[in-house]
Amino acid sequence: MLKLYQYEVCPFCCKVKAVLDYKKIPYEKIEVNPMTHEELAWNKKAVDHDKVPVLIDGDDTVLESNDIIRYLDKKYPKRPLIANKGTPSALQEKWIAYADEDLVQILPANIYRTFPEALHSFKYISKVAKFPPWKRYYLMLGGAVAMTIVAKKGMKKRGITDPRKALEDSLDKIVKGLGKNKFLGGAEPDVSDLVCYGVLNSVREMKVWNFISKNKKIDEWFGRIRKEGMC
């Protein structure tokens, strides 16, 4: 069985999980402590890499979310996603870039706008991580403090003064991309849908989801993808 080293709510990991779920590929999730990365000590020793996601498939070790997605689509061709059914690959690449360079970058400012919001998010994160109680407590407090600072720096760097407005503008790009279609890929989901879905699915249990789901077009599109057998 494939092994995925991950953080449960990491948007890059959630992109990979979306592809695995859509293709119905069985896999084992191995949760990595985001503060210590101790579960990836073997990988850091081998290739000096302690970031997630990391996919182990037999003798193959694949790093970086988009490389993993391309690997999975090539090795497991059932329900193909990339350049499927006439969708221009350039357009798919545009959505892959949008998910990483736009949508992912907007979310921290919305998840960790204030310390109480960050603490609420890390209460959930520490709960799903299933670490011993002392590790969960350390992760909750340390993570909330660290990510509040990171979010503030990110907002300043990107010139964001209103995180919710920035997120709304980002989501509107998906709405315009959908047009009258059910999916960004047209009549069926393709990689464009799954990378965006995965990023948004990473915050489905957080407060910001209430804001996201108020966008009717996004909520309906998200629901249609979930019906494709997603977790």
Find the CATH number of the domain harbouring 162: 1.20.1050.10
67 and 97 belong to one structural domain: no
CATH number of the domain to which 54 belongs = 3.40.30.10
Task: Give pLDDT, residue 127.
Answer: 67
Residue 162 and residue 217 in one domain: yes
Q: Is residue 26 part of a domain?
A: yes
For residue 29, give the nearest of 5, 64, 53, 60 by alpha carbon: 5
Regarding whether 148 and 219 lie in a shared domain, the answer is yes
pLDDT score of 36: 78
Identify the CA nearest to 110 among candidates 230, 15, 214, 211. Answer: 211
Where among 46, 75, 104 does a domain terminate? Answer: 75
Instruction: Say which range, 27-36, 68-77, 114-123, has the weakest mean pLDDT.
Output: 114-123
Question: Is 14 contained in some domain?
Answer: yes
**Residues 151, 62 share a domain:** no
Q: Which has the minimum average pLDDT: 46-50, 62-66, 210-214?
A: 46-50
Phi/psi at 214 (nearest 5 deg)? Answer: -70, -20
Whether 231 is in a domain gets the answer: no
- Considering the domain architecture, whether residues 38 and 98 belong to the same structural domain is answered as no
Torsion angle, CA of 75/80/83/85, rounded to 10 degrees? Answer: 150
Are 96 and 67 in a shared domain?
A: no
Q: Which domain holds residue 26?
A: 2-75
Does position 9 have pLDDT exceeding 60, yes or no? Answer: yes
Is 35 inside a domain boundary? yes
| Residue 129 near residue 33 (C-beta atoms within 8 A) | yes
Choice among 58-67, 100-109, 125-134, 209-218 with the minimum mean pLDDT? 125-134
Residue 84 belongs to a domain: no
Gap between the Cα atoms of 154 and 99, Å rounded: 16
Q: Which helix (H) or strand (E) holds 95?
A: helix 89-98
Domain boundary among 75, 109, 137: 75
Q: Domain check: are 145 and 205 in the same one? A: yes
Same domain? 165 vs 210: yes
Last residue of a domain, one of 47, 75, 103: 75
| Percentage of the residues of the chain whose pLDDT score is greater than 90 | 59
Q: Is residue 80 part of a domain?
A: no
Residue 124 scores a pLDDT above 70: no
Say whether pLDDT at 48 is over 80.
no
Q: How many domains does the chain have?
A: 2
114 and 189 in one domain?
Answer: yes
- The more confident residue out of 104 and 109 is 104
Q: Sorting pLDDT into bands at 50, 70 and 90, what band is 112?
A: confident
Is 99 domain-assigned? yes
Give the whole-number percent of the chain exceeding pLDDT 70.
84
Which pLDDT does position 46 carry in this prediction?
A: 63
pLDDT in tens, 129-145: 666 665 665 566 666 66
Q: What is the pLDDT of residues 176-223, one digit of tens each?
A: 999 999 999 999 999 999 999 999 999 998 889 999 999 999 999 999
Residues 151 and 93 in one domain: yes
